Amino acid sequence: MRRSVETLIVGGGFAGLLTASRIPGAVVFEENPHVGIPPHCTGLVSERTVDLIGSPAKESMIARYRSIVVERLKGGEIVNLVPDQDVVKLDRVLLEKILETEAINQGSAIYTKARVLGISNNSIVVSSKHGVHRYTGSLVVIAEGSQQKFSRSLGLVRKPELLVGIQGFAKTHGGLDEEEIYVFVDDEIFRDFFGWLIPLDSRTALVGMATCLRDTNNRRLGLFLRILYKRKILAESVLTKMYGGLVVRGSPLEKHYTGSIVAVGDASNFTKPFSGGGLYPSSVQIGTLASKLRRYEPMEALIRYASEIRDYVKSLKRQLAITRIIEKLGIERTLLMLSRLGILRSTESFNYDYHDKSLYTKLKKLIGIRS
């Protein structure tokens, strides 16, 4: 059976739901039984991101932080990063539930347990409990997340580096500043990423780490937790209610649409390459796309959208290039060299959403000294 819809959205994660809340009358197809699952994200965003998302983000805020302390895992603070704005922790599951409600209130529909089997220009094939149906529309938005099955097959994204993030709740000894986020670096245990501890109250924290997909095993996580326990940061070296997922480290193509099909969010590599954070890039991207769709027909809207988002795509490419340099040197090693040479001070201001602005000048000085 063929059914006509104005805008078809593949995927009901953050990017898909935000798109549906911005484009009235859209239809979202989500393969999971509920939105917001499985949880996988720390939910840390800038105040700027909260403003871009709007009331759903404000209603799902659970904590606020004023600085990020970067330490060597085995001990020793390297730098205290003071973001250009507060960092906010969102309840990601709640955020997506509220976005779902907002999308429905805007006239969009959310179909769960609906798996998209194929995409062609202006149409998708969906399998659900009602059978297999073809839906047609004037615009197809691919918001499938890190799996990138359709966005890659259509040439809308380059294959990114995939990391695995895993986290859970831990008991602490107390005494941690509840307005500080703690980041741990160790080039042996974390390799191309880092570990984190996010205080939730005086005795509980969200603790996690990420590592390359090829290095995924519980041994590194166990080492991380045991070291925090030996340092008397954690009261026990175990995590409860663990969850995680893939972290996308790549950059978007300047043209990530074809015909009337466009990829958004993780499906298009709209993530901050160093941290893997996707809520700010997705919010910028989808806000720009929606503003054009409100004024122009889909084909014209996509052309104008691509032109307006181009500068931000270039910023994400610069961030990826800087990240690759730091990966090659080692995060821990890079920070220690910057610190010992006086390029990195003990307290530094930090642009939370544009890492290239914070890191480019310092790396340029470091490379100049080494050459």
Per-domain residue ranges of the chain: 2-37+93-159+253-324
Strands (E), 220-278: 240-249, 257-258, 261-263
pLDDT, residue 215, reads: 63
Query: Residue 258: beta bridge partners?
Result: 261
Say what percent of the chain tops pLDDT 70: 97
Indicate the pairing of strand 77-83 with strand 347-350.
Answer: parallel
If pLDDT is split at 50, 70 and 90, which confidence band does 370 have? low
What is the phi/psi pair of residue 26, to 5°? -75, 165
pLDDT, residue 192, reads: 84
Q: Is the pLDDT of residue 3 over 60?
A: no
Taking the C-alpha atoms of residue 197 and residue 230, their distance in angstroms, rounded to an integer, is 15
The answer to which of 215-229, 269-283, 355-369 has the lowest mean pLDDT is: 355-369
Average pLDDT score over residue span 353-362: 83
Indicate the pairing of strand 240-249 with strand 261-263.
Answer: unpaired
| Residue range 5-47, pLDDT digits in tens | 589 999 999 999 999 999 999 999 999 999 987 778 899 999 9
Give per-residue burial for 274-285: e unless 16+ CB within 10 Å, then b.
bbbbbbbbbbbb
| Residue range 273-291, pLDDT digits in tens | 999 999 999 999 999 999 9
| Mean pLDDT value across the chain | 93
340 burial class (0-12, 13-18, 19+ CB within 10 angstroms)?
A: exposed
| Residue range 122-162, pLDDT digits in tens | 899 999 988 999 999 999 999 999 999 999 999 999 999 99
| Residue range 80-126, pLDDT digits in tens | 999 999 999 999 999 999 999 999 999 999 999 999 999 988 899 99
Average pLDDT score over residue span 185-192: 91
Give per-residue burial for 228-245: e unless 16+ CB within 10 Å, then b.
bbeeebbeeeebeeebbb
pLDDT, residue 355, reads: 82
Architecture of domain 2-37+93-159+253-324: 3-Layer(bba) Sandwich (3.50)
Q: Dihedral sign, CA of 284, 287, 292, 295?
A: negative
Taking the C-alpha atoms of residue 14 and residue 327, their distance in angstroms, rounded to an integer, is 28
Q: Is 283 helix (H, G, I), strand (E, B) or coil?
A: helix
Q: Is the pLDDT of residue 4 over 60?
A: no
